[in-house]
Structure 1
């Protein structure tokens, strides 16, 4: 087919068809004209490429996100595994450490548990053996049980040996503590010799000494030089700072350690102590040259004081006669202001003391409640009259004896302990003070400390006056328990129907068991009944009570007479007149031996002060002949034995002159001491 001719142009030259016209001209047969370079095709092609690129970029971004998420999950899983592994390691290590520490051996605890287990097994086997024997078990079974019993007994013996070995080890450490403290005490006392003070005021007697120098330190007294001469001061009368400096007291509870170690069956193995610190060379006093050191009065010139040592210094009705002090282990009651000694304790000692401390104290403060409790438990009461903030002997007895677990256990077996405190610094209400004074007056308390063991009704069965060490307290507790049992038994017998003779014998036994000082007060009905049943006083109880009353009255009269005549002043100013008064008083009719010995003791000290040694023999012999076994009689005997030494030392001295001092000591006459700076 041929194409139709093109139409002619109306004028001018004919032009070729335009490109657009050709491109967009209608196709033949009614179809569209196809041109690959057309705009829609290009636009379509362009859109398709962008979509591909975008899809490719999106796929890459999605892949990157998946990779990053996969990596993050992997890292998180890795760290979680690491953390879990670390926690597992820590828990395992802690468990291993716990197991190791929990398996550390404790000899005492393990030995105690083993001993208890073995004891329980032993009891169980014994019960089994008893049952088998009761059922007539076969011989083979009995033999097997016996074999088990023997093995258990051997195991028990080995356990006891291990416990004893542990006790020995602890005792060795305690021995080292004792050695350390003793070296410290010796060093402190050696260093204190030659120490000087401007003024020294005693705690108990209230005496003041000027320009004082320490020349000798002993366990019971301290020898000093002062302006008026020399004197011996009891350890309990020293000020608190001097006592601390000289290491008096028992801050480490050495007494309790000694008792504990003494109870061991095997010998105690002591460790070799470390060498003591080197002390400066101090001249030592001569070996016991003068007898009067043991019986010197606690003053340069013998003040004549009352023989009664009361807890209330202002209410004493006696004179001023000085009586030689008893040994420190059995000292009389005190009224001195000595608080507990403050001492730096070795750390090892503190640990051991805390480890070995026993049960806490359970003391009542109400006697009425304690008596009700004692009646319910069929026990007695122990009343402790004390001054907790001023009485040195009370503080020492509480710390060294009454606070020990073994003593508390011994007391609690038969008595309910009650503390009746009479402080001076601590405030008490009026009702408490009135109640305390009532008990003090009822029981006739004249000094502190005093222990009164009584029954559930408050009637005394045993009394202890003055300081007592742990051994003495234990012994007195045992005596009181026996007396309480006897008193309760006799009281129960009196409640039964008895004949007059049986009743009289029972009353005599009862009144001889209890303290004689409480018969007229707490046992007055029993005494009145005995007077009716025994008018002839065949038992001698009434005569003894009458003699005690007479002795008390004579002591009061003697002290009052000497006080009115100012015997303590005459002893310094006119010794001959003082001796004449004493001799005339000794010739008085009806004087009891105890009073005569007291007057003779005054005379002996006055003669020794005046160095009239040739006149000592007669009063010493008279004192020994009166009551040889009394405290004064023993003192007279001791002086009589050493009379040749006294004559040799004091025979050439003038009246009132002191014997020469030991080598190295300096007599303090007029020392120049720098005054203290003004505050």
Structure 2
């Protein structure tokens, strides 16, 4: 692992920890979340929150080295964001430098923002409500700033839609609220945690579900139930049970193409685990056909390519065994 600026900063400026300055991403970052919100409100800025693992996460280190430590990034965000570093170091000495209070705060915020991978970059308004999320991106600091600006545009669309909804009634109000949620492209758990009241308003304003919002929400609940049951069957290696679950779920008329695409891929994974590579690749083709333009389609094609290589490797294994004999 390369020595990075953030590691040197821990050693050179440890006295600043108590003041709230962070080192995981360099000078100018804040570690106290409540202080960061107050600063953002006072300066009319948003929050850029970096959930990072400074001494173990390779992609976090790359993001620091390639983007956050560069002047074009600092200049590009200085008038837009208060930078917040929430570090999750693993080395005892770095945990000690971070302090117990900061560790407790960071764990609480990790749970609050449903962060499961590192680095996670969460963009929030000064109240701490998320409007965008991202992670490591290739291309350097200038491209990353452009990417952040695109995500910030989602916040403006959100706010404009909320303002329009405040002046509307009935289905039109529901449409504006739905537009606000879609503009942010947040994970479902974040929408549920931070915008649950908006979902309630949409359903009240659109009792006949002309927007399709309630139908989509019901489909997501079914997907979550499927995923929970599917994970249990995978852990118990019950391939037949998993295949049967997939077939039952696909008959549900409440699921659209993309939802069915995700469900059917569980069957492909089950076949792959049991060495049925031809069947798994056939399922991949069926999955792509369900929603060819979905975000998942390219990943499914990539998975199919890996299956082909796994099939080749499995076919070569018996030959290698015979040669050794």
Q: TM-score, normalised by structure 1?
A: 0.37
2:300 to 607, 630, 633: 633
Corresponding residue of 2:22: none
User: Partners of 2:144 and 2:106 in 1: how far apart?
Assistant: 23
Shift, 1:391, TM fit: 1.3
2:144 to 453, 473, 482: 473
1:588 to 243, 248, 253: 248
User: Partners of 1:477 and 1:452 in 2: how far apart?
Assistant: 10
Corresponding residue of 1:379: 45
Shift, 1:444, TM fit: 0.8
Q: Structure 1 601/474 Cα, relative in aligned 2: closer, same or farther at 3 Å? A: farther
Deviations 1:84-136 (A, max 9, x none): xxxxxxxxxxxxxxxxxxxxxxxxxxxxxxxxxxxxxxxxxxxxxxxxxxxxx
2:72 to 397, 401, 406: 406
- Quick check: 1:620–1:639 contact (8 Å CA) kept in 2? no
User: Partners of 1:587 and 1:581 in 2: how far apart?
Assistant: 10
1:437 to 107, 111, 118: 107
- Quick check: 1:600–1:623 contact (8 Å CA) kept in 2? no
Unaligned 5+ residue runs, structure 2? 5-25, 252-259
- Quick check: 1:462–1:480 contact (8 Å CA) kept in 2? yes
Is 1:564 the counterpart of 2:236? The answer is: yes
Higher share in helix: 2
Deviations 1:638-660 (A, max 9, x none): 479xx6x998x679x47x53779
Larger Rg over CA atoms: 1
- Quick check: 1:621–1:636 contact (8 Å CA) kept in 2? no
Is 1:657 the counterpart of 2:318? The answer is: yes
- Quick check: 1:597–1:632 contact (8 Å CA) kept in 2? no
Secondary structure of the structure 1 residue equivalent to 2:209: coil
Q: Structure 1 406/547 Cα, relative in aligned 2: closer, same or farther at 3 Å? A: farther
User: Partners of 2:151 and 2:128 in 1: how far apart?
Assistant: 14
Q: Structure 1 589/481 Cα, relative in aligned 2: closer, same or farther at 3 Å? A: closer
Shift, 1:448, TM fit: 1.0
Secondary structure of the structure 1 residue equivalent to 2:249: coil
- Quick check: 2:51–2:87 contact (8 Å CA) kept in 1? yes
User: Partners of 1:646 and 1:373 in 2: how far apart?
Assistant: 53
Corresponding residue of 1:601: 269
Secondary structure of the structure 2 residue equivalent to 1:424: coil
Shift, 1:581, TM fit: 5.2
- Quick check: 1:454–1:461 contact (8 Å CA) kept in 2? yes
User: Partners of 2:110 and 2:39 in 1: how far apart?
Assistant: 21
Q: Structure 1 470/420 Cα, relative in aligned 2: closer, same or farther at 3 Å? A: farther
2:2 to 321, 340, 348: 340
Shift, 1:476, TM fit: 2.8
* Aligned residue runs from structure 1 range 496-575, under 5 A: 497-500=167-170, 503-514=173-184, 515-517=186-188, 518-565=190-237
- Quick check: 1:454–1:460 contact (8 Å CA) kept in 2? yes
User: Partners of 1:625 and 1:519 in 2: how far apart?
Assistant: 29
Q: Structure 1 431/546 Cα, relative in aligned 2: closer, same or farther at 3 Å? A: farther
Corresponding residue of 1:487: 158
Q: Structure 1 542/516 Cα, relative in aligned 2: closer, same or farther at 3 Å? A: farther
Q: Structure 1 562/499 Cα, relative in aligned 2: closer, same or farther at 3 Å? A: closer
- Quick check: 1:508–1:530 contact (8 Å CA) kept in 2? yes
- Quick check: 1:604–1:619 contact (8 Å CA) kept in 2? no
Secondary structure of the structure 2 residue equivalent to 1:452: strand
User: Partners of 2:193 and 2:122 in 1: how far apart?
Assistant: 14
Corresponding residue of 2:86: 420
User: Partners of 2:162 and 2:281 in 1: how far apart?
Assistant: 52
User: Partners of 1:458 and 1:617 in 2: how far apart?
Assistant: 44
Task: Report how many aligned residue pairs link the two structures.
Answer: 283
2:32 to 366, 369, 373: 366
Secondary structure of the structure 1 residue equivalent to 2:83: strand
Q: TM-score, normalised by structure 2?
A: 0.73
